[in-house]
């Protein structure tokens, strides 16, 4: 109920700003678990994708977002709390594994989980190498992966912008990807294969230039958080 209420409150504003169009909704299962693996251009990605899907979607979100300041920050924090998004503390040494384990429990409960394989927002709008944590999640839950392309969210709210600007948002959801055929492979190789194959499909859907490097490494060189 709280999830649907938050959509009713925030949804009209998001529709007005983005006039979102979505394709591939038929690929989202009516019940049961699935991983929505998406490119990540803006923190507003986590608002638009759940808005367009009738089932609740849980996304991981940095702990500082839950106490954000300013008009947009407070709206974002309220949305995160009301929709039971997964709070993560990236300063903790085990935060990545703890997030994966929490995500696995969500999927085992039959729910949808939103996942950003790049691990962080793109520093420049290009698509970066996926982390193998996606593969760990697939191999440990058996959940199918739905590749997702978010288009236009960076233009609407680029990093550092105080407020969003009206921009057409497109969301493309690809066909489910399953990886049971990798069960006999060495675990590390299987995890890497899954991440790489999913990123290839996301690149096809989004039309982004693909960079075979981790976004976090690029941000570190640029001095970005």
Element at 192 (helix H, strand E) = helix 187-206
Q: Residue 12 in contact with residue 5, Cβ under 8 Å?
A: no
Given pLDDT bands bounded at 50, 70 and 90, which one contains residue 201?
A: very high
Q: Which two tokens stand for residue 192?
A: 């890497």
pLDDT digits (tens, 9 = 90+) for 110-125: 999 999 999 999 999 9
> Phi and psi for 144 in degrees, rounded to 5?
-70, 155
Structure confidence at residue 18 (pLDDT):
94
Long-range CB pairs of 64-71 (<8 Å, 24+ gap) are: 70/162, 71/163
Distance CA 28, CA 94 (A): 31
pTM: 0.89
Q: Is the dihedral of CA 76, 78, 84, 89 positive or negative?
A: positive
- For the chain, which domains are there? 2-218 (3.40.1130.10)
Band (63; pLDDT cuts 50, 70, 90): low
Name the least confident of 57-61, 64-68, 180-184, 199-203.
64-68
């Amino acid at each position: 109920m709280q999830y649907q209420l938050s959509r009713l409150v925030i949804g009209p504003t998001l529709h007005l700003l983005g006039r979102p169009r979505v394709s591939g909704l038929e690929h989202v299962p009516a019940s049961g678990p699935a991983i929505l693996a998406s490119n990540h251009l803006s923190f507003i990605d986590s608002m638009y994708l759940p808005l367009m899907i009738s089932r609740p979607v849980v996304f991981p979100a940095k702990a500082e977002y839950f106490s954000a300041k300013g008009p947009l920050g407070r709206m974002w924090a309220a949305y995160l709390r009301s929709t039971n998004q997964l709070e993560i503390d990236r300063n903790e040494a085990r935060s990545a594994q703890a997030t994966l384990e929490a995500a696995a429990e969500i999927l085992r409960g039959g729910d949808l989980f939103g996942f950003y394989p790049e691990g962080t927002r793109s520093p420049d709008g290009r698509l970066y190498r996926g982390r193998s944590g996606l593969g760990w999640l697939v191999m440990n839950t058996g959940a199918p992966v739905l590749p997702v392309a978010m288009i236009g969210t960076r233009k609407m709210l680029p990093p550092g912008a105080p407020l969003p600007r009206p921009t057409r948002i497109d969301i493309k959801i690809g066909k489910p990807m399953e990886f049971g055929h990798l069960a006999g492979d060495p675990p590390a190789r299987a995890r890497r294969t899954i991440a790489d194959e999913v990123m290839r499909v996301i690149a096809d859907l989004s039309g982004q230039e693909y960079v075979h490097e981790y976004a976090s490494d690029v941000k570190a060189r640029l001095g970005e958080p």
